């Protein structure tokens, strides 16, 4: 699975375009991803998806301008469960996902707008 294109509000994965936030795994897409608090990530926003797909690396894309916040306690909880956590603006998160998807079990939770 590869991300072909990302621009503000739109992402194209394996030829399919999405206009809502997504969670990507090596072989699975969860589209229309919503968070309890919009621009503030909570562990509960994607914990079930993580447990079902068991990635080694969790990449969080905080939006084109980095508006979505990831509280320290969310990062700490993920790390305590053994996940390697990377938090970047979505442009960089897309690049990281594409670079790792063929090598590791990876998850990218991507905010597509601000």
pLDDT tens digit sequence for 28-43:
999 999 998 989 999 9
Helices (H), 17-108: 47-53, 72-80, 90-100
Under the banding of pLDDT at 50, 70 and 90, the label for residue 111 is: very high
SS3 for 47? helix
CA dihedral sign, ordered 7, 8, 13, 18: negative
Q: What superfamily does domain 3-110 belong to in CATH?
A: MTH938-like (3.40.1230.10)
Sequence ranges of the domains in the chain: 3-110
Query: Which residues are paired to 82 by β-bridges?
Result: none
Q: Are 33 and 21 in contact (CB under 8 A)?
A: yes
Share of the chain above pLDDT 90, in %: 95
pLDDT value at 22 more than 90? yes
pLDDT grade for 77, boundaries at 50, 70 and 90:
very high
Residue closest to 50 by CA, chosen among 71, 25, 72, 69? 25
Return the pLDDT at 76. 97
């Amino acid at each position: 699975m590869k991300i072909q294109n990302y621009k503000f509000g739109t992402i194209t994965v394996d030829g399919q375009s999405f206009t809502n936030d997504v969670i990507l795994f090596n072989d699975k897409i969860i589209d229309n991803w919503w968070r309890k608090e919009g621009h503030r990530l909570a562990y509960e926003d994607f914990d079930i998806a993580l447990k079902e797909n068991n990635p080694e690396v969790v990449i969080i894309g905080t939006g084109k301008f980095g508006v979505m916040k990831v509280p320290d306690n969310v990062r700490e909880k993920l790390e305590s469960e053994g996940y390697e956590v990377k938090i970047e603006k979505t442009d960089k998160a897309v690049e990281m996902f594409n670079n790792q998807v063929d090598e590791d079990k990876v998850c990218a939770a991507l905010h597509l707008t601000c």
